[in-house]
Amino acid sequence: MIESGYLRALVLSLAAWLSLYLIFTWTIDPYGVSPIRLELPRINALKPKRTDIDRILKPYEVWRYQPRTIFLGTSRANHSLDPSILDGTRFAPAYNAAIPGGASMKMHAAYLEQYLRLDHDLRTVIVELFLPHMVGGPTPTWADFIGNTVSLFASANTLWDSLVTLAYNAVSGRPIHQIERAGYFYHPNRPDPQTLFERFPGYIWSSAVHQPDRATFDQAAFDGALEIIQIARANNLELIFVIGPSHPYPDYYYDVIGAWGVIGEWLTKLSAVATVYSFSQPNDWVDEPISPHMTYWYDTFHYSLAMGRGMLRSLAGVPTPGLPDNFMERLTPQRVASHIERRRAAVRRWAEANPSLVAQFEEARRKWLAAERTPH
């Protein structure tokens, strides 16, 4: 038997379920996107699920917060550049829209185009240059933006992650890594950096890295950078390219694979057509000795929030006590050769001072090359 009001009951109970869903997920707000924006200790203050969703979250937040300045870049910019450092400067409000995980110049260009349509207050773009990643990658589409935004609000994951957020806050309550409101990634319990530096050879010479022994100039990637420049000019945006700090250990790796030529070509060509600031020249902060407790480095590639604070304050022209004299340097085509020579000299000094790390690196490389030569 079918009750006469069954279909009506279906619709009404669906509406009731939907209301419950919205009340619950908007209150707990696992991704920090709720229109209600409640922050309740032991309930939802910590957001363990607001992590690893940068591609989904950041376009929505750029649209929502309408920042004046955005950062584009990879996980380095994402981990280390806290936009609140720029509060009170001409760049404020700023948002860290860096996308970890191999963001390419082409991707940055596509994101920039999307952000321009989403954010009418956008005036300045700071683009991080990270040379190993100047290759292709997926580019965002409007369908992605809509689908991703819908998924943040209406998906089974949102429901599950609300439960996880509630449980984590109620049971554990310990600070946990998450994407902060301004878009940068904060990790309160980072592992010992020395261990991560020691793992570097095993990582770089593994199947996780595509062609770790190759360094060739990628015209398509450079075209991506040129595209960013064109977009910025066409939209009257201030554009700043930033070469983030590079520790002598990865610089040693670039040295081994013969990457300086490519780096030099990139910097020469780019600094001829755009504003490029470098933070990678050797100094006390960049060359910080590897130890279990480092101030300026989280691991081989990722510099710390302290380093990022110095970078942003330098860019904004805010005096910072203790900053190395050569911390920020405007690159021009004429200065590129000396910039690279100083880094190479620092690499040689570092290699002499760290023979065990060099031996470890060379052993991992030798094994990788032997495996590559073995027919599969």
Q: Would you give the binding string for other proteins spanning residues 44-63, x where CB under 8 A is met? A: ----xx-xxxxxx-------
Among 66, 68, 102, 318, binds other proteins (CB under 8 A): 102
Shortest distance in whole angstroms from residue 304 CB to other proteins: 15
User: How far is residue 333's CA from residue 336's CA, in Å, rounded to a whole number?
Assistant: 6
Can you list the alpha helix ranges (DSSP code H) found in 257-335? 260-273, 305-316
314 Cβ neighbours under 8 A, 6+ residues apart: 277, 279, 320, 323, 327, 328
Which residues within the stretch 146-165 sit at the binding site for other proteins (CB under 8 A)?
Answer: 147-148, 150-152, 154-161, 163-164
Among 2, 36, 143, 370, binds other proteins (CB under 8 A): 2
Q: For residue 275, how many other CB atoms are within 10 A of its CB? A: 15
Angle between helices 156-171 and 142-153 (to 10 degrees): 50
DSSP class per residue in 136-192: ------HHHHHHHHHHHHSSHHHHHHHHHHHHHHHHT-----EE-TTS-EE-TTPPP
Q: For residue 333, how many other CB atoms are within 10 A of its CB? A: 15
The encoded tokens of residue 257 equal 């694979």
Q: For residue 29, how many other CB atoms are within 10 A of its CB? A: 24
Of 156 and 322, nearer to other proteins (C-beta) is: 156
156 Cβ neighbours under 8 A, 6+ residues apart: none
User: How far is residue 121's CA from residue 66's CA, in Å, rounded to a whole number?
Assistant: 6
Of 52 and 255, nearer to other proteins (C-beta) is: 52
179 neighbors 50 (Cβ within 8 angstroms)? yes
Q: How far is CA 280 from the centre of its chain?
A: 17
Residue 96 in the binding site for other proteins (CB under 8 A)? no
Of 296 and 298, nearer to other proteins (C-beta) is: 298
Residue 17 in the binding site for other proteins (CB under 8 A)? yes
Residue matched to tokens 């940055």: 108
Residue 220 in the binding site for other proteins (CB under 8 A)? no
Shortest distance in whole angstroms from residue 136 CB to other proteins: 14
Burial track 213-245 (b if 16+ CB lie within 10 A, e otherwise): eebeebeebbebbbbbbebbeeeebebbbbbbb
Q: Would you give the binding string for other proteins spanning residues 295-324, x where CB under 8 A is met? A: ----x-xx----------------------
Shortest distance in whole angstroms from residue 213 CB to other proteins: 15
Among 35, 37, 207, 319, binds other proteins (CB under 8 A): 207
Shortest distance in whole angstroms from residue 128 CB to other proteins: 14
Shortest distance in whole angstroms from residue 52 CB to other proteins: 4
DSSP class per residue in 62-100: HHHH--SEEEE-SHHHHHH--GGGGTTSTT-SEEE---T
- Only segment of 63-71, 200-208, 239-247, 320-328 that touches other proteins (CB under 8 A): 200-208
Of 40 and 167, nearer to other proteins (C-beta) is: 167
Q: How far is CA 251 from the centre of its chain?
A: 20
Of 93 and 202, nearer to other proteins (C-beta) is: 202
Residue 101 in the binding site for other proteins (CB under 8 A)? yes
Q: Would you give the binding string for other proteins spanning residues 261-300, x where CB under 8 A is met? A: --------------------------------------x-
Residue 209 in the binding site for other proteins (CB under 8 A)? yes
Among 36, 208, 236, 317, binds other proteins (CB under 8 A): 208
Shortest distance in whole angstroms from residue 93 CB to other proteins: 25
Residue 222 in the binding site for other proteins (CB under 8 A)? no
Shortest distance in whole angstroms from residue 99 CB to other proteins: 8
Which residues within the stretch 323-342 sit at the binding site for other proteins (CB under 8 A)?
Answer: none
62 neighbors 99 (Cβ within 8 angstroms)? no
The encoded tokens of residue 303 equal 């510099």
Residue 31 in the binding site for other proteins (CB under 8 A)? yes
Instruction: Name the residues that contact other proteins, by CB under 8 A.
Output: 1-3, 5-7, 9-14, 16-18, 21, 31, 48-49, 51-56, 74-75, 100-102, 132-133, 147-148, 150-152, 154-161, 163-164, 167-168, 171-172, 176, 203, 207-209, 299, 301-302
